[in-house]
Structure 1
Amino acid sequence: MTTQTETETILQAEAQEARAARAARAARGGAGPRRRRRRSWSDAAFGVWGLLVMLFLFLPIIVIVVHSFNTGRLLAVWDGFGFDAFTSILVKPAIQSAVRVSLVTALIAAIIATVLGTLAGIAMARHPGRWVWWFLGLLLLVSVTPEIVDAVALLPFMVFLGQDLGLSMFNDGIVRLSVGSSLFATAVVSYIVRARLVGQDAQLEEASADLYATPFTTFRRITLALAMPAVLAGFLLAFTLSLDNTIVAAFVQVSGTTPWPVYVLSALRTGLRPEIAAVSTIMLLLTLVALGLVALVLKRAGDSATQIARTMTGG
């Protein structure tokens, strides 16, 4: 007959063996089947609601992309699947001119916005003071002002510069479109560059000055290098924002330099054709490529997914 001490020893040994067996099964991934948590009706409802919201946002874009492969004469009448709309772009000078004007205007506007916005962002980050909040307020005013107000203000201003002051460059349609499209984009670039530099210490620039580097050398090799990811992202965002600046373009354009958004508006009078959807699809792909490059540049610079999303949404 075993004693109480021997019984306790046996029970402890069995318990240790059971724990060891459970640990071994857990290490092999065989810890035993887990009961799945049953999804509540609220989870299912939110999933369905999210799907409906996504369809509401992207269904019009999907419709345009699908109808860009329509072989019919009108966009609203589906005749068949084909690439006739894309090939017709190559033989219509009006469409080619409108697309070329939009691309050239967006490129020039992006350059203007990048130069001005980068300098403004660096100044706000490296020379803080009460003036920064006033300047940020002005940039915010530019960002929230309705485009129709900007367009109405720009038209007489451009006429005043071109005719009354004799600055013939402001009579050129490309110059007008570039300047008008760069206003909002400059504010966006300023936000991005400032947000990039505010979180970084200025010790590298101080060390460069201590090593007798000139201010220009410090700016070029230190400050601009630190801000370069934000500068590139701002340039690409400014380019995409300038492509669809319809209201300002409709007011400041001159004859012979009709951008693509204004061309689409004028085409509504005679009926939309499939080539309109084809060029819109190409513009959409170009915009997605630019946004993808923005995300890639920011990711390589070490930004998190949340920071990339805030940058791409202007936050």
Structure 2
Amino acid sequence: MTQTVTETIARAESSTRVRRAPRSWSDIAFGVWGVLVMLFLFAPIIVIVIYSFNTGRLLVSWNGFGFEGFLAILEKPAIQNAVRVSVITAFISATIATALGTLAGIAMARYPGKWVWWFLGLLLLVSVTPEIVDAVALLPFFVWLGQDVGLAMFNDGIVRLSVGSSLFATAVVSYIVRARLIGMDANLEEASSDLYAKPVTTFRRITLALAMPAVLAGFLLAFTLSLDNTIVAAFVQVSGTTPWPVYVLSAVRSGLRPEIAAVSTIMLLLTLVALALVALVLKRAGDSATQIARTMTGG
């Protein structure tokens, strides 16, 4: 009797199971196509990471596996200086972009009007303008400021690189902060004003607190974007402040060495860590995966 009841329950459970429908040929084709696209995008990066462990004299000539390329970084002051300049300018550029972009994003989200669309158009223009155009425009502009106007600070390579790299990054931070605040109700800020809080206090404790995840995300993204601003850096740099991308371009003439790939691998890891921190900050703020993607793209 017990066995009969058990068999009956088993048959009932098996009959209620939903059979998985077989995958169609279109699903399989799109899956294969997706894998091929991913390989196309990331194969060069995988190759450069592998060749960073090459013990050969030249990067393209594989000699064996080792860490000589990474150890050479500690022995060559030119590489250390180039990396140092890139990191310093990226940090300063990200700070400038975050300060300006945060204010712009808050203004667009909290004071809507026709001017917002004009301003977004200007930001879009900054975003899509070819870097070579920015570089050609910035070089005589910095020379004019440093020599004709007499602002000696614009003769410094760090200042030039920082300002030049912050242009595109400022637009990115503006998009991110606006996307963060545009869907949030302003009732908290209105309540703070109704309770006679000063505008500065409301901005610091309410508005900035609401936007802080996007501000941190914008800073980290601006930092990573500023690390590889090659074209602008090649035009506006001065002697003694050669950033890493320009150093790599000059190294191509004599042949790329494994230490070039080693530093590139380290910077790749630095970029991935920054992006992971962006996602972590937004996730801890309570955002879903869709909201994180929307914020990081400024949508």
Question: Shorter-chain-normalised TM-score: which range?
Answer: over 0.9
Change over 3 Å in CA distance of 1:222–1:33 after alignment to 2: closer
Q: Which residue of 1 aligns with 2:125?
A: 141
Q: Among 133, 146, 157, which residue is 1:173 paired with?
A: 157
Q: Does the 8 Å CA contact 2:220/2:275 hold for their aligned counterparts?
A: yes
Q: CA deviation at 1:307?
A: 2.1
Q: Among 216, 226, 246, which residue is 2:210 paired with?
A: 226
Q: Which amino acid aligns with 1:82?
A: G
Q: Among 43, 47, 63, which residue is 1:79 paired with?
A: 63
Q: Does the 8 Å CA contact 1:196/1:227 hold for their aligned counterparts?
A: yes
Q: Which amino acid aligns with 1:56?
A: F
5+ residue gaps, structure 1, are 1-16
Q: Which residue of 2 aligns with 1:11?
A: none
Q: CA deviation at 1:34?
A: 5.7
5+ residue gaps, structure 2, are none
Q: CA deviation at 1:25?
A: 4.8
1:196 & 1:178 partners in 2: Cα distance?
Answer: 26
Change over 3 Å in CA distance of 1:231–1:24 after alignment to 2: farther
Matched position secondary structure for 1:302? coil
Q: Which residue of 1 aligns with 2:166?
A: 182
1:281 & 1:191 partners in 2: Cα distance?
Answer: 29
Q: Which residue of 2 aligns with 1:106?
A: 90
Matched, 1:252 2:236: yes
1:289 & 1:259 partners in 2: Cα distance?
Answer: 21
1:190 & 1:146 partners in 2: Cα distance?
Answer: 19
2:189 & 2:23 partners in 1: Cα distance?
Answer: 55
Matched position secondary structure for 2:65? coil
Change over 3 Å in CA distance of 1:139–1:269 after alignment to 2: same
Matched, 1:158 2:142: yes
Tell me the alpha carbon deviations over residues 71-106 of structure 1, each in whole angstroms, 9 at most, x when there is no partner. 011000000000000011001000000000000000
TM-score, scaled to structure 1: 0.90
Q: Does the 8 Å CA contact 2:54/2:66 hold for their aligned counterparts?
A: yes
Q: Does the 8 Å CA contact 1:22/1:31 hold for their aligned counterparts?
A: no
Q: CA deviation at 1:39?
A: 2.7
Q: Which residue of 2 aligns with 1:199?
A: 183
1:33 & 1:126 partners in 2: Cα distance?
Answer: 52
Larger Rg: 1
Q: Does the 8 Å CA contact 2:93/2:223 hold for their aligned counterparts?
A: yes
Q: Which amino acid aligns with 1:69?
A: F
* Greater alpha carbon shift after TM alignment, 150-159 vs 35-44: 35-44
Q: Which amino acid aligns with 2:101?
A: G
Q: CA deviation at 1:303?
A: 1.6
Q: CA deviation at 1:151?
A: 0.5
1:83 & 1:259 partners in 2: Cα distance?
Answer: 24
2:297 & 2:50 partners in 1: Cα distance?
Answer: 27
TM-score, scaled to structure 2: 0.94
Matched position secondary structure for 2:74? helix
Task: State the number of aligned residues.
Answer: 295
Change over 3 Å in CA distance of 1:35–1:216 after alignment to 2: closer
2:74 & 2:198 partners in 1: Cα distance?
Answer: 52
Change over 3 Å in CA distance of 1:60–1:21 after alignment to 2: same
Change over 3 Å in CA distance of 1:70–1:314 after alignment to 2: farther
Tell me the alpha carbon deviations over residues 10-40 of structure 1, each in whole angstroms, 9 at most, x when there is no partner. xxxxxxx99x9459953xxx55776543333
Q: Among 59, 66, 81, which residue is 2:50 paired with?
A: 66
1:203 & 1:271 partners in 2: Cα distance?
Answer: 61
Q: Does the 8 Å CA contact 1:236/1:294 hold for their aligned counterparts?
A: yes
Q: Which residue of 1 aligns with 2:199?
A: 215
Tell me the alpha carbon deviations over residues 39-83 of structure 1, each in whole angstroms, 9 at most, x when there is no partner. 332222222211111111000000000000000110000000000
Q: Which residue of 2 aligns with 1:242?
A: 226
2:208 & 2:236 partners in 1: Cα distance?
Answer: 34
2:178 & 2:57 partners in 1: Cα distance?
Answer: 50
1:273 & 1:265 partners in 2: Cα distance?
Answer: 12
Q: Which amino acid aligns with 2:197?
A: A
Q: Which amino acid aligns with 1:190?
A: S
Q: Among 22, 28, 49, which residue is 1:38 paired with?
A: 22
